[in-house]
Amino acid sequence: MAKEHGAMEGRLRACFEGLADFHRLKMIDLLLEGEMSVTALCAHFTMRQPSVSHHLAVLKKGGIVKTRRNGKEILYSVNRKYLSSVMTYYFARFGFMVKEMDAAGPAPGETP
């Protein structure tokens, strides 16, 4: 159980690193509409292709996007199932923490 918890924490960290940039969030929004190549994504940004590729690599490392080869082209799409499982885990833990905090009562100096 502790090993699974540690593995999920690592996935959470990588996922949140992927989400921690405005450009990557915009890429996710675009990819939610359907799979796209790096070239197609570049049309939506003022940055050059190597920068777009770097952001996609961060998203892929975080499990947020997945790839599919179509001939010479690599198509990117949102890994919805993985992203959903990581976010569900995170919010379930967050909900548990909120319940613990509520049960503990107000913090010192905090009014109820």
6 pLDDT exceeds 80? no
What pLDDT is attached to residue 61?
A: 92
pLDDT in tens, 47-75: 999 999 999 999 999 999 999 999 999 99
% of residues, the chain, pLDDT over 90: 54
Identify the structural domains of the chain with CATH numbers, from first to last.
2-92 (1.10.10.10)
- The mean pLDDT value for 30-49 works out to 97
Average pLDDT for the chain: 85
Q: What is the 3-state secondary structure (H, E, C) of the chain?
A: CHHHHHHHHHHHHHHHHHHCCHHHHHHHHHHHCCCEEHHHHHCCCCCCHHHHHHHHHHHHHCCCEEEEEECCEEEEEECHHHHHHHHHHHHHHHHHHHHHHHHHCCCCCCCC
